[in-house]
Amino acid sequence: MTISIRRTTDLAGQVGLAFSLFFGLTAQSVQADSHPSRIKVEPPQIILSGANSRQQVAVTGAFADGTACDLTGSAEFQIDPPGFVRVTPSGVITPVADGSGHLRVIADGKQVDVSLLVSKIDVVRSVSYRLDVVALLAKAGCNMGACHGNLNGKGGFRLSLRGDDPAADWLSLTHDAQGRRTDLLDPSQSLIIQKPTGRLPHEGGQRFPSGSTEEHVLLDWLAGGARDDFSSAPRLARLDVFPTERISTPKALQQQLVVTAEFSDGTRRDVTRLASYDVSDPTSVTVTADGKVEAGRPVETTIAVRYLGGRGISQLAFLADRLDFAWRELPTSNIVDTHTFRKLKSLRINPSELTDDPVFLRRAYLDAVGRLPTLDETRAFATDHEADKRGRLVDRLLSLPEFADFWALKWADLLRNEEKTMGEKGVWVFQRWLRDQFAADLPLDEFARRILTAKGSTYANPPASFYRTNRDPMTAAETVGQVFLGVRLQCARCHNHPFDVWTQDDYFGLAAYFGNVQRKELHNERRDMLDKHEINGDEVVYLSGQAETIQPRTGMTMKPKAPGGPKPSLGNDQDALDDLASWLTRDNPQFARNMTNRVWFHLMGRGIVEPVDDFRDSNPPSNSALLDALTAEFIAKGTRLRPLVAMIMKSTTYQLSAKPNSSNQDDEANFARSLVRLLPAEVLLDAIGQALDTHERFESTPPGMLAVQLPGARMGGKFLKAFGKPDRLLTCECERSDATTLAQAFQLINGDSVRRALEAEDNRIGKLMKSGASEKTIVSEIYLAALSREPTATERDAVLAHVHASQNHRKAWEDACWAVLNSKEFLLRH
């Protein structure tokens, strides 16, 4: 691949320099067996009770290599003795008469028998509003936020979001608008039948066809009096989904799900047809009303299954057809490689080769300390031929003072260290405190505890600045959830979380911990008297009154209670924050999982759970075993940052090349190769200065301060803003943008920061020319300083040819440096 770079200057005109990267990788081949070694049926025993019971079955072909194939659609079903049940070609069994026998399943030349029992055929179970109708409305999408589940409803008809309030929904269906939506005398004329079937105009379109199972459920409910069976219906106790995980054999692009509900009265029921299905990749995967997953291409996907308040997931991998695949062994350094390579092998994905020393050296410096290696560091690493030199380099990087600067920058983003709420002095004080904690390698559980329990002057006790940014109980609760647990609670402020288990009570129970946090301004100079959040001075954080808040929907006073945790016995103790900190860091394994995932994200460019702050059942880890093992090591090492960083960086997985091979070129979630990404804004600006041996001067900062050391969000000028430095208005890693823009191109082509560095009289170019260094030496130093490697012969010849053709050698060398700084190899971490 050839990359051509062009720059326009006043004297040099247009100049192009070429840089080449070569990609190539081969693998040995082997063909897998195309027939399963055995077949299995889910459920392994079928019991039907009542005339309207049903059971979806799934037929699986199991292969010797651990993969599986859904054979439900191609299987032959036989009943022995015949006649007492019906079975559809898709594997749905319904009763005809009481009796017992076997379901014989024949698939791919293999046979298995499943016991079959039918009883109480004379008993017709009435359609349940709570168990059937509520689920049906959710499955049809009627109570989604874009439809009648909207806060204001649609077309005068309002339902609770995703059926959170079945009692209110029953009133809307049967009594609202003079009860015109339900016709008990002629159920087929009811609006809730006419509109979703498309017989009457409906803005939401047809939700289910005439004659469908869904229509019959509603008709039977209406015929039975449209009652709310709140007092008699059993409660959902458990929801099981089959399969929970599956790696399908190549060419298999479908999977039949089986969803089973267990109720408080001990009964179990197939609810595959009533369950709702949410797909993580809807552009590639669909799920039919009967729970059949169909993939349009090889893909990994998660199907989130909902029935009433129950949730389950099915993680499915549909493999590409790589008949020539052969696993290529790489050295395994630690548990990172053990679990990463095990997953890759199961997916028939080969990792890329190990990257070479110059790329590893540059990558390690950028990821650990946020800067390029110096010339001396680069040369020392190149002349070190010991087998353990990469591990020793990692250990040395973690001991450098720049490590604390760089990781403090990451947390300053996350904790929103910005001038508007912190004040001009406050951002400096808080940044210094962050740096000191990382310099001391403070355990991250203690780091969180100090922030959450901090009170007093925000200048004297900087972690108390957390309560300057999070000025109300709801914001504080959301920040704690997102930053320290990796959970997005925001939806639960207005209603029960539509994609997770969190309720409004969970949300306001957490917010109650901050209900008595108060602030007092000290000698403040406000820029804007109308904005109470913009305070340019110190504040004192203190507690006043009881920790509590009001749940707006119910009007109840909520006492502190952690989501999913026990209700604390606080008595008259005003300070509930100690209890919150203890629960968060000691009693809740999610804290350590979240911190582990965040560190992985910063080193690898993608979280094991992605996005990193969106842990939920329907967004599972791409490699659960890897996250569990790393989390256990993180806890065992005292929740300290440095040991975790060292383990990841010393792994073979971290040291893989970014060059893809034929098996991993479309995969990013399983870390089969290094992910290429743009350097963060501050790191890039410092790298430009380091490559040219200059320093960018920032207003109102000490001389020599680097961009990665800057506190606040307003410092650094246009360059940092163009390259994605966040405003720190959001508690989200996503606020720091790595998207490429036209503004970035302008900054690199002829921006002030780049031009100043290039034209500085005493920069690297000037010093080398004044020293009388040879042309080859100058070229070598330019490449070593910027790219941590020597130039190739082609690159050296291109640079020297341009210099020799120019009348102004100084400008020609600037052009050469400019071309290197604009190359992808310099701009990207790879």
Tens of pLDDT, residues 575-586: 899 999 999 998
2 pLDDT higher than 60: no
Among the ranges given (1-5, 563-567, 569-573, 615-619), the one the predictor scored with the smallest mean pLDDT:
1-5
pLDDT tens, residue by residue, 229-272: 999 999 999 999 999 999 998 889 999 999 999 999 999 999 99
Q: Exposure of 121 by Cβ count < 10 A (0-12 exposed, 13-18 middle, 19+ buried)?
A: middle
- pLDDT of 48 reads 96
pLDDT tens, residue by residue, 614-665: 998 889 999 999 999 999 999 999 999 999 999 999 999 999 999 999 999 9
Taking alpha carbons only, the member of 276, 320, 277, 322 closest to residue 296 is: 320
pLDDT band at 226 (very low <50, low <70, confident <90, very high): very high
- pLDDT of 497 reads 65
Q: What are the strands of the beta sheet with 268-270, ordered from one edge?
A: 236-242, 258-263, 268-270
Distance CA 41, CA 384 (A): 59
pLDDT band at 792 (very low <50, low <70, confident <90, very high): very high
- pLDDT of 525 reads 58
- pLDDT of 29 reads 31
Looking at per-residue pLDDT, the higher value among 95 and 17 belongs to: 95
Q: Quick check: 91 and 256 in contact, CB under 8 A?
A: yes
Q: Where are the domains of the chain?
A: 38-123+234-318, 129-223, 443-587
Predicted TM-score of the model (pTM) = 0.89
- pLDDT of 98 reads 96
Among the ranges given (109-118, 505-514, 527-536), the one the predictor scored with the smallest mean pLDDT:
527-536
User: Which residues are CB-neighbours of 289 under 8 A, at least 6 positions away?
Assistant: 139, 208, 213, 214, 273
User: Which residues are CB-neighbours of 569 under 8 A, at least 6 positions away?
Assistant: none
Among the ranges given (4-13, 136-145, 336-345, 486-495), the one the predictor scored with the smallest mean pLDDT:
4-13
Give the pLDDT mean for 87-107.
95
798 pLDDT higher than 70: yes
- pLDDT of 69 reads 93
- pLDDT of 564 reads 79
25 pLDDT higher than 60: no
- pLDDT of 17 reads 34
- pLDDT of 521 reads 84
Distance CA 798, CA 805 (A): 11
- pLDDT of 231 reads 92
- pLDDT of 281 reads 87
- pLDDT of 532 reads 58
- pLDDT of 325 reads 87
pLDDT band at 64 (very low <50, low <70, confident <90, very high): confident
Q: Phi first, then psi: what are they for 17, rounded to 5°?
A: -125, 140
**CATH architecture, domain defined by 38-123+234-318:** Sandwich (2.60)
pLDDT band at 33 (very low <50, low <70, confident <90, very high): low
pLDDT band at 523 (very low <50, low <70, confident <90, very high): low
pLDDT tens, residue by residue, 652-697: 999 999 999 999 998 999 999 999 999 999 999 999 999 999 989 8
Give the pLDDT mean for 370-393.
96
Taking alpha carbons only, the member of 70, 99, 72, 66 closest to residue 83 is: 99
Distance CA 657, CA 810 (A): 36
